[in-house]
A and B are shown apart, each in its own frame.
Chain A
């Protein structure tokens, strides 16, 4: 049924005929697409200019002398390798921590009704709505209390805490979509509950897991306020706060600043686009569809 619809849609595409209305749709859609990526195009073009061209008059949009070398030189201009390492480590471990706590929780709430279930779900939903920003003084003092200021561990825990809600909501939807009967059959065949989860349920819910992983990774990668507040030593900063070291300087090295942001933005954009289909469902907790 689905397939047939797709075929019809494809055929319609092939027999595409241009009407004025279609043309207007296309032109406005392309312009809007361009509008939303233009700042990033501008960023990449600026990252390819030599420093002398930044303020040249008359202003040119394209570099005259394309400096692809900026992408090699930037590594020695600022400790970007350190920034990236911090971001990668923190994002990976925050993601693992989110999986570790959200998979069992999501599975259990999808499969069982228990006293306190509704309260737990409300708490998770409320967590999703909070960003660390409003609580930052409390977070700062707690991190200080545990002696974790300026550590990756603190960043990992805080980021995991604020992102687990997305994973719990999304995954419980996926788990609920696996018929209990299949799972029970596996258990009859001698699987334990955990191995039934691992062998039967996890493969089916793989898209949900991938989405949760990418979403948490990207959200942690982009997190700014907490990192700004609790990280102080330059060599331990993640990339989101590390780049501000360029901005503070008197003569901002925009070309190197933008090579760095390009390096930081492009991979996560690609990851994010790959999970487009599932993003909205996880963020709005199933209330839209």
Chain B
């Protein structure tokens, strides 16, 4: 309705007359939103453009630029024999961590939405992994997964489930699954709280009405709560997709992507190429692909939230 149309007309008028700016000109907004805009450009837009530019440039291991290079960096990247496995692993990583997290968070949100004594403390306990530094949490898990004295092996031993201690982080059979476990552990709290907020926004009277009509709690969950949770679920899933894809500290702290490239994702692989192996060219190409992937999910997110919010 046209605040926008009026704005456009107003801007035209301002362009001709130049005497009085219309109230809704962006020029009036600039002193207010300008600093935020400048900061976003400096910290997000500039590095993104820089990354794309470098990916098309010949770059030495020391970081010196030696002119336009076409798609040479991308060709070098795609010729890397390890890339295929790393891309596959990244898809498995994002898919499994996000789906396990969301599936486990649904009953958890339902649980901490119940009324019981000490609920506050349970909620506080569940916030801890969300608040604590991910790299520190990962280091704690590194200790708990330690070969001889770690809590993990100790518990399995005491339960009689293990004869020989397992070196969870170095054994290539287990290391990737252990990373998934830690990633799920740090992702559940945020997801559960988003779903909890969704549950809390469901008006009580709908549920009471259903109870009066004799619905069981499972029926209420299936028929009323779950459909109303759809938005929260969608948002939580998309934000998790991005967070898990971007997840660098867990892998870096626990395995550095090793042994070899055995637990690398495209994010840690790009980092490793750039800052450990000084193989800048292909690293920037992979960086651009990573960036494009996130951009795609962001666009989906914008569509979804726009739809749910009505209009911005």
Query: A: which residues have CB within 8 A of B?
Result: 9, 12-13, 16, 22, 25-26, 28-30, 32-34, 36-40, 42-43, 46, 54-57, 59, 61, 97, 100-102, 104-105, 107-109, 112-118, 120-127, 129-142, 144, 157-158, 160-162, 164, 168, 218, 221-222, 224-225, 228-229, 240-241, 243-244, 247, 254, 257-258, 261, 264-265, 268-269, 271-273, 276, 279-281, 283-289
Contacts and interface: CB of A to CB of B under 8 A. Distances in A.
- Where chain A touches its partner, the secondary structure class is helix
A114 B194 contact: no
Contacts of B142: 247
Contacts of B7: 113-115
Given A32-B111, A254-B143, A133 B29 contact: no
Nearest to A28: B111
9 contacts: A33-B125, A105-B32, A115-B4, A141-B50, A224-B252, A241-B135, A261-B133, A273-B124, A289-B201
- Where chain B touches its partner, the secondary structure class is helix
B134 interface: yes
A36 B189 contact: yes
A158 B124 CA distance: 30
Nearest to A268: B131
A157 B42 contact: yes
B47 A105 contact: no
Contacts of A22: 116
Interface string B225-267: 0000001100110010011001111001100000000000001
Contact of A101 (B39, B140, B246, B247): B39
Given A158-B43, A224-B133, A288-B198, A120 B33 contact: yes
Classify chain B: how many residues form its interface, as a range: 35 or more
B25 interface: yes
Contacts of B42: 142, 157, 161
A94 B125 CA distance: 28
Contacts of A269: 127-128, 131-132
A33 B121 contact: yes
Contacts of A61: 151, 154
Interface string B37-59: 11110111011111100100000
A270 to B, nearest CB: 9
Give the one of B123, B190, B312 with max A CB within 10 A. Answer: B312
Contact of A30 (B51, B122, B134, B196): B122
Contact of A288 (B31, B112, B154, B197): B197
A54 B298 CA distance: 45
B166 interface: no
Interface in B270-312: 270-271, 274-275, 280, 283-284, 287, 290-291, 294, 297-298, 301-302, 304-305, 308-309, 311-312
A280 B127 CA distance: 12
Contacts of B235: 284, 287-288
A115 B33 contact: no
A167 to B, nearest CB: 9
B130 interface: yes
B137 interface: yes
A285 B305 contact: yes
Interface in B60-95: 63
A107 B47 contact: no
Interface string B106-129: 001001101111110111111111
Contacts of B291: 134-135
Interface in B119-170: 119, 121-137, 139-144, 148-149, 151, 154
B39 A161 contact: yes
Contact of B248 (A12, A224, A272): A224
Contacts of B3: 113
Nearest to A100: B35
Nearest to B65: A141
Given A26-B118, A33-B126, A135 B44 contact: yes
Given A29-B116, A287-B235, A137 B35 contact: no
Given A30-B122, A104-B35, A288 B232 contact: yes
A130 B40 CA distance: 11
A265 B246 CA distance: 22
A125 B302 CA distance: 8
Contacts of A135: 44, 47-48, 51, 287, 291
B287 A247 contact: no
Contact of A157 (B43, B51, B128, B275): B43
Contact of B140 (A39, A131, A268, A281): A39
B148 A136 contact: no
Nearest to A277: B197
A102 to B, nearest CB: 6
A40 B284 contact: no
A152 to B, nearest CB: 15
B206 interface: no
B201 to A, nearest CB: 5
B136 to A, nearest CB: 4
B26 A116 contact: yes
